[in-house]
């Protein structure tokens, strides 16, 4: 499992989510995440049909999307999805 994180420097919700993700990543060192600033990677906006920010996309071992969250979400919501897909 891999999580793609999409945001932008001008996005208030992205700033809120940054420390939440940092905490989660520190507690789950095995978790693979990648961050993309949509201003620097506009092709990713099209590829994943991004409409709002921040957006977090879960990918399976074949890099196929299996789930996504958008906006400011709680640490618990993120951990629920991580645990749901951890064994897959």
pLDDT at position 50 = 97
The residue extents of the domains of the chain are 2-85
SS3 content of the chain, % helix, strand, coil (to 5): 40, 25, 35
Q: For residues 41 and 9, is the Cβ–Cβ distance under 8 A?
A: no
pLDDT for 88 equals 62
pLDDT of residue 29: 92
Instruction: Write the burial class of residue 75 (CB in 10 Å: 0-12 exposed, 13-18 middle, 19+ buried).
Output: middle
Q: Let me know if domain 2-85 sits in CATH 3.40.30.10.
A: yes
Q: What spatial distance separates the first Cα and last Cα of the chain, rounded to whole Å? A: 7
In sequence order, the β-bridge partners of residue 5 are 35, 56
- Output the tens digit of pLDDT for each of the chain's 88 residues: 999 999 999 999 999 999 999 999 999 999 999 999 999 999 999 999 999 999 999 999 999 999 999 999 999 999 999 999 987 6
Say what the pLDDT of residue 86 is.
85
pTM, rounded to two decimals: 0.94
């Amino acid at each position: 499992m891999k999580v793609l994180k999409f945001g932008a420097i001008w996005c208030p919700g992205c700033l809120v989510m940054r420390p939440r993700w940092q905490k989660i990543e520190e507690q789950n060192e095995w978790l693979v995440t990648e961050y993309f600033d949509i201003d620097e990677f506009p092709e990713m906006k099209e590829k994943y049909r991004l409409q709002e920010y921040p957006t977090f996309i879960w990918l399976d071992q074949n890099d196929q999307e299996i789930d996504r969250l958008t906006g400011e979400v709680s640490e618990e919501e993120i951990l629920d999805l991580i645990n749901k897909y951890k064994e897959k």
